[in-house]
Amino acid sequence: MNFKKFNYYGFDKNSYMQCLDMIHSTNLKHIGILNIFFIIYTGLFSIFSIMGQFGVNRRNFNYYMVFFVAFTLFELFLVLGKKYTGRIAIVLTYIQLFLIVSFAIVGSLTWPYYIATTFLVMVVICSLSYIDNMLRMSIALILSSAVLLYTSYKGLFTLYTPKPNSHAVQDTYNVVVFLSLSLILHYAFQKARMGQFETYQRNLQISRDLEVKSSFDALTSLLNRGRFFSMAGEVLRNHSDEYIVVAILDLDKFKQINDTLGHQMGDKVIQTAGSTILDSLNIDLADRWSFPERALNNKLCFAGRLGGDEFVVMIRGKQDRIVVSEILSRMLYNLNSVEMGELHGIHASFGATEVTAEDRDIDTVYRRADEALYQSKRGGKNQVTFG
């Protein structure tokens, strides 16, 4: 296994990046759990130290209180700055790791005649709780262990004296054993977790692909008939004073294009008509799987292919008929301007209708638009008619 895969717990960087949101989410979840635990832990021991109960020495009150305040302030940031935590999840991970390790190191120095049991437990907890990449986590855990051993032999400034040599040696032995165990556990545990993340991502992608296939027309990337009517029906059931127009467009002389230029050219005409509709309505299908939900929630325009050479659009977010008429006229102009080999322009007839406050049934609205479409056909085709 090369180093890059080892660094990402046996996976390549691309797979790791696809799982990054879940990595951050998992870290934030564990940060929240651990922080609440340490607030309760340090708070209780602060009280015990004041009371001199359960063998907690009163001289350790400042130690517990300082970390109680630190973990509490950290919790306040997690709560009040919730909208920012997702962006800096990795930073928060290492801030908490620093707090936990500092708590364990100082705690070890407050009991100089005991081995650093708390630190050993904290190293294992951190290795199992956080996921970043193998290199950074290894550096963080090794540096933490080095700081503990330094303080065991040298003390911490003038605040704490060094431990007796026998205890410092015992700390060294324990740290080497537990650090090695922690690194092994970290890799194995996070590799399994990455496997779960990747499986979830793969299943999510399959779900999205199925959503796209069931919602969109393969030839034009427009919504298929069923999905369009489903979305339009939902819009009508929930609309109040929103200005909405439904328009149907049918390509003129499309059968003649198929007969004279061939069905391959006919498919290209359908594709070009679809892309022209999308461009004219500024519809962004970068993430097609999420488009239906975004369109409904954000009051976006959407379009569908009814079948053959017939299309339908729902125009939302515009002020009045004048603005919508300009959009449809521009769409027609863009279609007429298409040049493809022997084809000079795509002609189309439009039938449009405004949705009223009483409209709650898309079939009723569709029939009005369809009648307007036939008026366009009878009136000479290649035009926009409101009905």
Residue 218 lies in a domain: no
Cα–Cα nearest to 315, from 299, 331, 329: 299
Return the axis-axis angle of helices 89-110 and 117-129, rounded to nearest 10°: 170
- Per-residue confidence (pLDDT) for residue 157, from 0 to 100: 79
Residue 219 lies in a domain: no
Cβ distance 297 to 259 under 8 Å? no
292 in the same domain as 319: yes
185 in the same domain as 286: no
Give the residue-averaged pLDDT of 128-155: 94
Percent of the chain at pLDDT exceeding 70: 98
149 in the same domain as 34: yes
- Per-residue confidence (pLDDT) for residue 257, from 0 to 100: 83
For 306-356, write each residue's pLDDT tens digit: 988 999 999 998 888 899 999 999 999 999 988 888 888 899 999 999 988
Whether pLDDT at 90 is above 70: yes
**DSSP three-state, residue 263:** helix
56: confidence class by pLDDT, cuts 50, 70, 90: low
- Per-residue confidence (pLDDT) for residue 116, from 0 to 100: 87
Whether pLDDT at 156 is above 90: no
Domain of 240 in residue numbering reads as 225-386
Whether pLDDT at 1 is above 80: no
What does 117-161 look like in DSSP terms, one character per residue? HHHHHHHHHHHHH--S-HHHHHHHHHHHHHHHHHHHHH-BTTTBP
Residue 220 lies in a domain: no
Whether pLDDT at 30 is above 90: yes
- Around Cβ 199, how many Cβ atoms within 10 Å? 10
50 in the same domain as 8: yes
Domain termination site, one of 210, 241, 256: 210
Cα–Cα nearest to 3, from 140, 183, 133: 133
Cβ distance 302 to 220 under 8 Å? no
* Rounded Cα distance, 70 and 41, in Å: 13
185 in the same domain as 229: no
- Per-residue confidence (pLDDT) for residue 19, from 0 to 100: 92
Token pair, residue 177, equals 């054993």
75 in the same domain as 150: yes
- Per-residue confidence (pLDDT) for residue 52, from 0 to 100: 64
* Rounded Cα distance, 364 and 304, in Å: 17
Cβ distance 384 to 325 under 8 Å? yes
CATH number at residue 254: 3.30.70.270
182 in the same domain as 92: yes
Give the residue-averaged pLDDT of 131-141: 95
Residue 216 lies in a domain: no
Alpha carbon dihedral 349, 342, 285, 385, in 10-degree steps, equals -10
**Phi, psi at 310, each rounded to 5°:** -110, 135
Cβ distance 103 to 64 under 8 Å? no
- Per-residue confidence (pLDDT) for residue 258, from 0 to 100: 79
Cα–Cα nearest to 324, from 386, 381, 263, 262: 386
88: confidence class by pLDDT, cuts 50, 70, 90: very high
254 in the same domain as 190: no
For 211-253, write each residue's pLDDT tens digit: 889 899 989 999 999 999 999 999 998 887 889 999 999 999 8
What does 42-74 look like in DSSP terms, one character per residue? HHHHHHHHHHT-TT--GGGHHHHHHHHHHHHHH
Greater model confidence, 50 or 151: 151
Give the residue-averaged pLDDT of 375-380: 90
- Per-residue confidence (pLDDT) for residue 239, from 0 to 100: 80
- Around Cβ 347, how many Cβ atoms within 10 Å? 16
Residue 217 lies in a domain: no
Give the residue-averaged pLDDT of 147-151: 93
Residue 237 lies in a domain: yes
Residue 129 lies in a domain: yes
55: confidence class by pLDDT, cuts 50, 70, 90: low
54: confidence class by pLDDT, cuts 50, 70, 90: low
- Per-residue confidence (pLDDT) for residue 61, from 0 to 100: 81
The pTM score is 0.73
How high does pLDDT run on average in the chain?
A: 90
Whether pLDDT at 209 is above 80: yes
205 in the same domain as 57: yes
How many domains does the chain fold into? 2
44 in the same domain as 8: yes
- Per-residue confidence (pLDDT) for residue 63, from 0 to 100: 85
**What HEC string does 19-42 produce?**
CHHHHHHHHHHHHHHHHHHHHHHH
176 in the same domain as 247: no
